[in-house]
């Protein structure tokens, strides 16, 4: 029988630093030149040429046990077991060659019934600190341990080996039959993640979200790429916010009147909603104290700033600078947010909000969805790609990401949509489509919906008044639009009336509707769900 290369990983005490405190990890990172302390106390680190995830370098081990369950295609590309074996040998040999490594052991899943034990082995101290902030630490209130209680024994389910500083040589690539220096490899059966050639720490976080997206459906839990908060006075009033980058998911869920459960990844079980993570991973570009005070105040000692420019003398972060990347990030424990719910669990949501930033300027600002529409818009996961954001993009383009997180789905999207629909039906949850994009014309001509209007919609949703409103039907998208919302001019509720040229609106709306229809052809879905889409 072939031995497991993982068994040869040297984690002996003389070279492996296990579960160090945040202060110890910061000290080691600074002394090793991995990062510097900012004036607010955060550790500032650079991730080299990889300042975001590397989806084209991410591959899944293809085995008979999982093959028929996987949504194979652009998102999930196969790696043979022999290739995974070879990559594992390389990663283990590299980490064994380092003078020291760091080990973190914690959890994904705030609900003890559904948590996974995660062991993270890294070469760099700051990567271990990142894991400590994003996963749930043993023996803490976040893990459900009360003061004076013993810490339950750790059970490892998943292993992450982070060899981000090395790159595959030409010889290694040839031996593996793989043609790139960077490889993010995951095995759902062995429960191992290999990170080779990328120092971007988000690869660790998202690999475990991917694992939860595979494992949780087996036990009846819906895994979701969303934020979650609850009313501070009425904790039964929980809400979920789904949305792609730039739609306002983090901003709208950070509400001083509501307590945060989590900002990115959750599961919905028979008992309610629980955070997969022990921390938050927020974007920093254009961050201000006035705009997002909760996030601003959470950036302190024990948090990690990625690729953020700081003044070399004062050490003050420059959140407006995109010198290294637009994707500047900060990670910090959830309890760094004032009033966050610890442990990060709550009941069943009363409301679910799908966020989209429609740059065509044709979708209503707020709509109440039928069960079929909820499935349709969840499977499509629409927002817009703006002109100028990528080379060759000269006008708005539809950007579809199934379930508002397609790049993290190992299984077919319709499976997650069915599970979510079952939960919605069982608990009588209202589902809304909230457009934070443009009105009066497309991007470049119209204007973005005022944040005050968007917050008024959210308030009316969460306090229950919008569910009692009178509705009208959008003729192209078939969406149910309220006739009046307190604090919002009624003329903005149906978008056609905000355009100077009605015919131009019709043409643009039909163009987007056609985009939806072209996208929904790529998915298997029930016919009543498909019929809930736009009308051509």
Q: Verify that 170 and 143 share a domain, yes or no.
A: yes
Q: What is the mean pLDDT of residues 434-463?
A: 94
Domain boundary among 288, 310, 345: 345
Show Cβ contacts of residue 459 under 8 Å, excluding neighbours closer than 6 positions: none
Output the pLDDT for position 387. 47
Q: Verify that 391 and 300 share a domain, yes or no.
A: no
Q: What is the mean pLDDT of residues 515-528?
A: 95
Quote the mean pLDDT of the chain: 94
Q: What is the mean pLDDT of residues 472-481?
A: 96
Q: Verify that 171 and 277 share a domain, yes or no.
A: yes
Per the structure, the complete domain to which residue 525 belongs is given by 349-530
Would you call 68 a catalytic residue per the annotation? Answer: no
Answer yes or no: is pLDDT of 388 > 80.
no
Catalytic residue among 234, 245, 389, 490: 245
Would you call 418 a catalytic residue per the annotation? Answer: no
Residue 234 binned pLDDT confidence (cut-offs 50, 70, 90):
confident
Tally of structural domains, the chain: 2
Residue 256 binned pLDDT confidence (cut-offs 50, 70, 90):
confident
Catalytic residue among 115, 191, 206, 418: 206
Output the pLDDT for position 249. 84
CB 513 within 8 A of CB 526: no
Output the pLDDT for position 1. 42
Catalytic residue among 59, 137, 191, 249: 249
Would you call 15 a catalytic residue per the annotation? Answer: no
Would you call 53 a catalytic residue per the annotation? Answer: yes
Catalytic residue among 62, 255, 264, 358: 264
Q: Verify that 91 and 109 share a domain, yes or no.
A: yes
Q: Are strands 101-108 and 16-18 parallel, antiparallel or unpaired?
A: parallel
Domain boundary among 309, 328, 345: 345
Domain boundary among 345, 374, 405: 345
pTM, 2 dp: 0.95
What are the CA-CA distances from residue 25 to residues 21, 71, 226, 400 (Å)? Answer: 6, 39, 30, 39
* DSSP for residue 414: H
Q: Verify that 278 and 391 share a domain, yes or no.
A: no
Residue 155 binned pLDDT confidence (cut-offs 50, 70, 90):
very high
Output the pLDDT for position 184. 98
Q: Verify that 281 and 396 share a domain, yes or no.
A: no
Does residue 343 have a cis peptide bond before it, meaning omega lies within 30 degrees of 0?
yes
Catalytic residue among 58, 59, 283, 329: 329
The pair of structure tokens assigned to 470 is: 């009178």
Q: What is the mean pLDDT of residues 302-326?
A: 97
Answer yes or no: is pLDDT of 248 > 90.
no
Per mean pLDDT, which range of 49-58, 241-250, 343-352 is the poorest?
241-250
C-alpha gyration radius of the chain: 23
Q: Verify that 333 and 357 share a domain, yes or no.
A: no
Q: What is the mean pLDDT of residues 49-71?
A: 96
Output the pLDDT for position 394. 53
Would you call 258 a catalytic residue per the annotation? Answer: no
Answer yes or no: is pLDDT of 55 > 50.
yes
Would you call 264 a catalytic residue per the annotation? Answer: yes
> CA quadruple 387, 389, 183, 224: dihedral positive or negative?
negative
CATH number of the domain at 164, please: 3.40.449.10
């Amino acid at each position: 029988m072939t031995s497991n290369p993982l068994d040869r990983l040297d984690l002996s005490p003389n070279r492996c630093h296990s579960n160090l405190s945040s202060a110890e990890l910061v000290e080691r990172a600074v002394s090793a030149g991995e990062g510097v302390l900012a004036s607010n106390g955060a550790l500032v680190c650079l991730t080299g040429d990889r300042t975001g995830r590397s989806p084209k370098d991410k591959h899944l081990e293809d085995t008979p046990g999982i093959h028929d369950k996987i949504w194979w295609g652009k998102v999930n590309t196969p790696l043979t077991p022999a290739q995974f074996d070879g990559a594992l040998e390389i990663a283990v040999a590299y980490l064994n060659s380092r003078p020291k490594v760091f080990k973190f052991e914690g959890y994904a899943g705030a609900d003890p019934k559904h948590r996974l034990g995660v062991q993270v082995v890294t070469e760099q101290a700051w990567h271990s600190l990142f894991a400590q902030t994003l996963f749930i630490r043993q023996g803490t209130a976040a893990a459900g341990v009360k003061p004076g209680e013993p810490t339950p024994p750790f059970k490892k389910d998943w292993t992450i080996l982070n060899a981000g500083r090395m790159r595959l040589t030409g010889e290694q690539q040839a031996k593996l039959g793989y043609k790139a220096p960077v490889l993010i490899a995951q095995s759902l059966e062995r429960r191992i993640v290999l990170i080779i050639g990328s120092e971007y720490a988000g690869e660790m976080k998202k690999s475990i979200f991917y694992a939860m997206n595979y494992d949780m459906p087996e036990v009846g839990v819906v895994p979701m790429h969303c934020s979650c908060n609850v009313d501070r006075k009425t904790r039964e009033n929980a809400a979920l916010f789904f949305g792609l980058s730039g739609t306002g998911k983090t901003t709208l869920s950070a509400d001083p009147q509501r307590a945060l459960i989590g900002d990115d990844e959750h599961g919905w079980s028979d008992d309610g909603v629980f955070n997969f993570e022990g921390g938050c991973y927020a974007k920093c570009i254009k961050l201000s104290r006035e705009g997002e005070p909760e996030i601003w105040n959470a950036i302190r000692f024990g948090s990690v700033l990625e690729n953020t420019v700081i003044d070399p003398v004062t050490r003050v972060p420059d959140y407006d600078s995109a010198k290294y990347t637009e994707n500047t990030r900060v990670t910090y424990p959830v309890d760094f947010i004032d009033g966050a719910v610890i442990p990060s669990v709550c009941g069943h949501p009363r409301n679910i909000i799908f966020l989209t930033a429609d740059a065509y300027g044709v979708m209503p600002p707020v709509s109440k969805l039928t069960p079929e529409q909820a499935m349709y818009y969840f499977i499509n996961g629409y927002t817009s790609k703006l002109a100028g954001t990528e080379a060759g993009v000269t006008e708005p383009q539809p950007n579809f990401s199934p379930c508002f997180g397609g790049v993290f789905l190992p299984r077919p999207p319709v499976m997650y949509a069915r599970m979510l629909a079952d939960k919605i039906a069982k608990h009588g949850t209202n589902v809304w489509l909230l457009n934070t994009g443009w009105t009066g014309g497309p991007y470049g001509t119209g204007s973005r919906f005022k944040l005050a209007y968007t917050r008024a919609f959210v308030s009316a949703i969460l306090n229950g008044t919008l569910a009692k409103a009178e509705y009208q039907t959008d003729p192209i998208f078939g969406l149910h639009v309220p006739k009046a919302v307190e604090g919002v001019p009624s003329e903005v509720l149906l978008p056609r009336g905000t355009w100077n040229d009605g015919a131009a609106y019709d043409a643009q709306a039909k163009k987007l509707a056609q985009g939806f229809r072209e996208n929904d052809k790529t998915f298997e879905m029930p016919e009543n769900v498909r019929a809930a889409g736009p009308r051509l």
